[in-house]
Amino acid sequence: MKEVLLIIDFGSQYTQLIARKVRELNVRSEIIPFDKFDHLPNYVKGVVLSGSPASVNNLDAPSVDLSIIRKKVPLLSLCYGAQLIAHQLGGEVAASDSREYGRSNLKLANQNIIFQGLEDNSQVWMSHGDTILRLPESSQIIGSTDDVEIAAFSLNDEYTFGLQFHPEVYHTTHGQTILLNFLIKVCDFSQNWTSDSFIESTVEKLKLELKHDKVLMALSGGVDSTVAAVLLHKAIGNNLHCVFVDNGLLRKNEYDNVLKMYKNIGLNIQGVDASFQFLEKLSKITDPEKKRKIIGSTFIEVFESVAQDLSGFVWLGQGTIYPDVIESISATGGPSETIKSHHNVGGLPDKMNLKIIEPLRQLFKDEVRRVGLALGIKDSIIKRHPFPGPGLAIRIMGEVTLEKVVILQQVDEIFISSLKKHDLYDKIWQAAVILLGDSSVGVMGDGRTYEKVVALRAVQSTDGMTADWVHLPYDFLSKVSNEIINKVKGVNRVVYDISSKPPATIEWE
């Protein structure tokens, strides 16, 4: 069927990073919360136990039945995972005198396959409050640091390893070597998880599953939905019917350009101009959450209306990616504060009675981009910055009007085109322009002006969970500001947002 490294998540902040590092080595990884793990699928060739903010000594400590794994497939346990093995098998784990966090140097002991190619005293990254004081029987220390005697151990006569440090983080200088040793020399993975192999297997699977069924899919112009649509099109051709809705909140000329782009790709697509409908419903609405919900519900209304005019559809295509799947079943789940509604529109109503097909639900964002390039989709599409589902509505402070949308579209076009012209666009994760609600006093010519303020925003990130503001050159910002004020009627002041996430979110609303 497939070769998979299974990662059992105990709530570590690094779990997704483990999965990504493994995939960089062309090995497929899957994450499962500890409380969802009850058997070992026959396609699993190795298991990793993640770290956790918990203590194994707590009564409610997260745990799994290790007998399901041990001596059946190789097992690599990290931080909390290592403590869990020691604790369950009769060793001793206790709170450290002080939290051990940061860089340490690993001293190797008892030559071990997992450390082949490592230099003695290489740097590792520690992040734990408990430490292993005593190992269980039939085990041996294979690595120590100045502060942690049992920094790494193995169980005798089986491929089970415990590391108190984190090989998946950048600060462990030879972490990739350790992971590679485990995956290749211990688990014997064939390293066949590549973009080309994913495309081939996915298209074949889609053909078998969908046969001659018809699929309906809403496209946004973004990377995920575009790549998902192209994969579906390769499998079923014009049995895929795509819909691209203009909500009146897209970038300047975006609707026409994206529609043309999709047609050039060869997709069977229908454009729907519903801009008046969206703008009318947003009239006099200032609350950001209300804006989002109105846009989401209006999109569903428009999409349902289109679907009613069509017939014979069995499936609804979606561009869901792996982080969405992980978050929906997270081991650290439970009630949490909603900072804001998700940018993308949620699921469509059950009454549509369509089955869901999600070709990308196994991939991280960077993998989606690589698959898109392997499919031959142009860089201009694949390397596009993320754009929020509610569009410019959440980049306009206060009420959304057609006049404000036009102003923001003009400013946005100047900013984005300038980034591309100066070779800065591809160095930025996301760039945006925000139209502030209040006006400011200015002087143009011999007259006083009272016009709008726009804020430029550019951030660097990997997944949008955290972000740093980009230090754009002052000369560049000066030129952009000057061009905006001279060319866009209604704007007399430009500011640059230098806040990072956290505490500020990437979008302003």
Name residue, tokens 């579209």. 409
H or E element that contains 162: strand 160-163
Burial class (CB in 10 A: 0-12, 13-18, 19+), 88: middle
Is 265 in contact with 377 (CB distance < 8 Å)?
yes
Angle at CA of residue 456, ends 455 and 462, nearest 5°:
130
C-alpha closest to that of 269 among 294, 293, 241, 249: 241
Identify the three-state secondary structure at position 460. strand
Other CB atoms within 10 A of residue 263 CB = 12
DSSP 311-372: --EEEEE----HHHHHHHT-TT-S----SS--SS--PPPGGG--EEE-TTTT--HHHHHHHH
By annotation, the residues acting in catalysis are: 79, 166, 168
Phi-psi region of 257 (alpha: psi -120 to 50; beta: other; left: phi over 0): alpha
Q: Measuring CA to CA, how many Å separate 233 from each of 15, 193, 285, 355, 357? A: 33, 22, 39, 17, 13
What does each C-alpha distance from 163 to 18, 75, 119, 175 come to in angstroms?
Answer: 14, 11, 16, 11
Q: Which amino acid appears at position 39 of this protein?
A: H
CA dihedral 133, 139, 145, 147 (to 10 degrees): 0
